[in-house]
């Protein structure tokens, strides 16, 4: 059976090349929304974090109706840290729209997502987006895309890719640059004509591969996947084959199909359709739902291994339990286990009853989880990110990254020097002719930990960089970390202007008067290599001549506000980040000064 009335397509691209904006226009111009319906921009970025950061974190499903044809669309992330989201949806679609910025051309993540699509033998349509940018170089970018296809080993059919020229923001698309540009109809037509129709035997036994998991507090787990064979009906008895080959008898309580941004209930769905099912508590990504008379599991795509790990632990600071709603080890463990169900590129290991090791694709991958949990009311502490080493017969191996840097020529020397100190090896240097230079490096993954803020300082905020995992190599030797110590609070209490005034002579301050601090809390960065203990709670002694009100005349340097990512990059191995719904604090693992010094002496013995 060939489903001529159906197309399944994913939108893939480098970050910020316009995927989510394009989906917006397809939804609007297909008549999915009512005429006077008030719709936000980037409607597919549904979470607060996605909207704030302007990035897509989770793959999203939607469906539009074009004439008599239903088009299932999956919007995917552009960051390599969320590559697990891209990899798993490849099993749900028959083709991809590869978006490429008409000015920037193919970028690092373009290579990453295209390689995954070509590996699954998916039909590509290349969409050159943002053609209305003044610096657009459309013909050159098409040639660069062709070179990338050849480099990635595309077959002859994939090399004959159709090209659509578009401006998602303006809502226009065209098959040639000379045509009149009115709307997105040429892109709709290209999808219908070029993306293969789903095929399969509608009368054979059911096979539904679960590629995504959603969660609803009322209905529980919701499995999302594509019907590869047969048909599925609401209330049907079926067999769930897990990734461990275990067979479980289940019942499909509810069946949903996608329509616009909503799920709509359905009584029946056929081969080729992307559907959601609920009522199966044991369901996980990679599982297959089969009919009882023909139980055959489907292979699931291999997911790249994690490269970074962090420890999540119960908060034991003096302020523990004051700001969070979920604070116990049971709360923490349950939430992390729930995350593992849907986040296939992430893994969890139990270290102790109060400490859990989370393994992910990168700092951003794990920091998004931390931020999400914080907003949900969780309170906990996390350790410094560490790369995951492998021990082999050839010795210790460490993950390597390809680093692509775009930097103004005036700051190039400092970037090269700093990356050299981090064991980076320059592979290529390409002047752009516009005052910037593209640099390519191969660098140990641990060399990138803590580098982003340093890079932004060195380039005055004008530089950008992207990185991709590039295999394992022999350990490159020690990389020197932070070259300054911390300013550590001497006692618990409330910080005052006089104490901060005296402390700011010792380094950079992170707090302001009136903030509560505790012994062992990191309140700033030392100007020296070693840690310095400071008393930010110290008040000026009152005498007949001086009054405490004279503090008002003290000139305090504005404190440095540390974001979550900056905090994770800043801390050293003997420090933690305390995360609560209201506050992000830095602290020493061992809070008491005497115990810290004793522990340090024992290490040095």
Which range has the worst mean pLDDT, 20-29, 89-98, 532-541? Answer: 20-29
Q: Establish whether 36 is an annotated binding residue.
A: no
351 part of a folded domain: no
**DSSP H/E element including 392:** strand 390-392
Same domain, 176 and 269: no
Give percent of the chain above pLDDT 90.
32
**Same domain as 151, residue 84:** yes
In terms of domains, do 93 and 52 share one? yes
Structural domain boundaries enclosing 402: 390-474
**211 plus 190 within the same structural domain:** no
Same domain for 165 and 231, yes or no, is no
| pLDDT above 60: residue 80 | no
With beta carbons less than 8 A apart as the criterion, state whether 548 and 481 touch. no
Q: What is the C-alpha separation between 63 and 274, in angstroms, rounded?
A: 9
- Residue 21, marked binder: yes
Q: What is the mean pLDDT of residues 454-477?
A: 84
Q: Per-residue confidence at 84, pLDDT binned at 50, 70, 90?
A: low
Lowest mean pLDDT among 74-88, 271-285, 359-373, 494-508: 74-88
Q: What is the mean pLDDT of residues 114-119?
A: 84
* Residue finishing a domain among 236, 270, 290: 290
Is position 131 annotated in a ligand binding site?
yes
d(CA 53, CA 44) in angstroms, rounded, equals 14
Does residue 465 sit in the same domain as residue 513? no
**Maximum average pLDDT range among 60-74, 239-253, 298-312, 571-585:** 571-585
Q: How many CA atoms lie within 13 A of 285 on its CB side?
A: 24
What pLDDT, on a 0 to 100 scale, did the predictor assign at position 466? Answer: 80
Q: With respect to residue 311, please indicate whether it lies within any of the assigned structural domains.
A: no
600: part of which helix (H) or strand (E)? Answer: helix 593-604
Distance CA 387, CA 75 (A): 29
Same domain, 11 and 160: yes
**Is 129 marked as binding a ligand?**
yes
CB 318 within 8 A of CB 326: no
Q: Is 20 annotated as a binding residue?
A: yes
Domain CATH number, residue 34: 3.40.50.300
Do 31 and 142 have their domain in common? Answer: yes
Residue 64 assigned to a binding site: no
Dist. CA 152–CA 149, nearest whole Å: 5
331 annotated to bind ligand: no
- Residues 434 and 411 grouped into a single domain: yes
Ligand-binding annotation for 17, yes or no, is yes
Number of domains in the chain: 4
Which CATH number covers residue 453?
A: 3.30.70.240
Residue 543 has a pLDDT of 54
Element (H, E) at 428: strand 425-431
Quick: pLDDT tens for 348-401: 999 999 999 999 887 877 888 999 899 999 999 999 999 999 888 888 999 998
Average pLDDT over residues 420-434: 86
Whether 154 and 213 share a structural domain: no
**What is the rounded CA–CA span in Å between residue 310 and residue 498?**
37
122 is a domain residue? yes
Number of H helices, E strands in the chain: 14, 35
Q: Is 368 annotated as a binding residue?
A: no
**545 labeled binding residue:** no
Report which of 126, 130, 135, 124 is spatially closest to residue 172, judged by C-alpha positions: 130
Residue among 103, 110, 155, 124 nearest 9 (CA): 124
Q: Is residue 358 part of a domain?
A: no
Would 262 be classed as within a structural domain?
Answer: yes
Q: Which of 557, 547, 543, 544 is nearest to 502 (CA)?
A: 557
Helices (H), 152-259: 156-159, 185-194
Inside any domain, residue 282: yes
Q: Is 120 helix (H, G, I), strand (E, B) or coil?
A: coil
Q: Region 160-184: what's the mean pLDDT?
A: 87
User: pLDDT at residue 36 above 50?
Assistant: no
SS3 603: helix
Among 228-232, 286-290, 448-452, the range scoring the smallest mean pLDDT is 448-452
- Last residue of a domain, which of 474, 505, 528? 474
Assigned domain for 79 exists: yes
Residues 152 and 88 in one domain: yes
Residue 342 lies in a domain: no
Closest of 344, 349, 346, 357 to residue 310, by C-alpha: 357
Interval 216-226: pLDDT, tens: 777 777 888 88
The CA-to-CA distance between both ends of the chain, in Å, stands at 74
474, 504, 534 — which closes off a domain?
A: 474
Instruction: Say which CATH number the domain at 219 has.
Output: 2.40.30.10
For residue 60, what pLDDT is reported?
Answer: 62
**pLDDT, average across residues 236-245:** 87
What are the φ/ψ torsions at residue 449 (nearest 5 degrees)? Answer: -70, 120
- Do 498 and 552 share a structural domain? yes
Reported confidence tier of residue 333, pLDDT bands at 50, 70, 90: very high
């Amino acid at each position: 059976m060939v489903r001529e009335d159906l197309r399944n397509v994913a939108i893939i691209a480098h970050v910020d090349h316009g995927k989510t904006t394009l989906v917006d226009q397809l939804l609007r111009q297909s008549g999915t929304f009512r005429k006077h319906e008030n719709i936000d921009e980037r409607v597919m970025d549904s979470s607060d974090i996605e909207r704030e950061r302007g990035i897509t974190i989770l793959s999203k499903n939607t469906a539009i109706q074009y004439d008599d044809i239903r088009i299932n669309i999956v919007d995917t992330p552009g960051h390599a840290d969320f590559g697990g989201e891209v990899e798993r949806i490849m099993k749900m679609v028959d083709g991809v729209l590869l978006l490429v910025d008409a000015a920037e051309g193919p970028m690092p993540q373009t290579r990453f997502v295209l390689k995954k699509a070509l590996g699954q033998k998916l039909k590509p349509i290349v969409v050159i987006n943002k053609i209305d940018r003044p610096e657009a170089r459309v013909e050159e970018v098409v040639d660069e895309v062709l070179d990338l296809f050849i480099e990635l080993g595309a077959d002859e059919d994939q090399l004959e890719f159709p090209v659509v020229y578009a401006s998602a923001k303006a809502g226009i698309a065209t098959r040639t640059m000379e045509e009149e540009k009115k709307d997105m109809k040429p892109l709709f037509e290209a999808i219908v004509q070029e993306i293969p129709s789903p095929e399969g035997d509608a009368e054979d036994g059911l096979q539904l591969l679960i590629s995504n998991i959603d969660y609803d507090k009322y209905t529980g787990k919701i499995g999302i996947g594509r019907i590869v064979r047969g048909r599925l009906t609401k209330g049907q008895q079926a067999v769930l084959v897990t990734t461990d080959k275990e067979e479980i008898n289940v019942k499909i309580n509810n069946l949903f199909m996608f329509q616009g941004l909503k799920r709509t209930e359905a009584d029946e769905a056929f081969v080729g359709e992307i559907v959601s099912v609920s009522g199966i508590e044991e369901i996980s990504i990679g599982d297959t739902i089969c009919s009882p008379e023909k139980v055959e599991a489907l292979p699931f795509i291999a997911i790249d291994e994690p490269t970074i790990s962090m420890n999540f632990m119960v908060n034991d600071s003096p302020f523990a339990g004051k700001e969070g709603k979920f604070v116990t080890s049971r709360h923490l463990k349950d939430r992390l286990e729930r995350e593992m169900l849907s986040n296939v590129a992430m893994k969890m290991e139990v270290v102790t009853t109060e400490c859990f090791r989370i393994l992910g694709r990168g700092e951003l991958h794990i920091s998004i989880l931390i931020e999400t949990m914080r907003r949900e009311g969780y309170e906990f502490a996390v350790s410094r990110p560490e790369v995951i080493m492998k021990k082999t017969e050839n010795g210790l191996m460490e993950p390597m990254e390809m680093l692509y840097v775009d930097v103004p020529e005036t700051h190039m020397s400092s970037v090269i020097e700093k990356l050299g100190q981090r064991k980076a090896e320059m592979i290529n240097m390409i002047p752009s002719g516009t005052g910037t230079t593209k640099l390519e490096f191969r660098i140990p993954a641990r060399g990138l930990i803590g580098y982003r803020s340093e890079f932004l300082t060195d380039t005055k905020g004008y530089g950008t960089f992207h990185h991709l995992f590039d295999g394992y190599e022999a350990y490159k030797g020690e990389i020197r970390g932070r070259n300054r110590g911390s300013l550590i609070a001497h006692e618990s209490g409330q910080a005052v202007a006089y104490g901060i005034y005296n402390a700011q002579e010792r380094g950079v301050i992170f707090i302001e008067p009136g903030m509560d601090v505790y012994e062992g809390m990191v309140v700033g960065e030392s100007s020296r290599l070693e840690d310095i203990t400071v008393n930010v709670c110290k008040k000026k002694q009152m005498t007949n001549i001086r009054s405490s009100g004279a503090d008002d005349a003290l000139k305090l340097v504005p404190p440095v506000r540390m974001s979550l990512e900056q905090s994770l990059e800043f801390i050293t191995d003997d420090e933690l980040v305390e995360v609560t719904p209201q506050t992000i604090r830095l602290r020493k693992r061992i809070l008491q000064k005497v115990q810290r010094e004793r522990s340090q002496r024992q290490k040095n013995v």
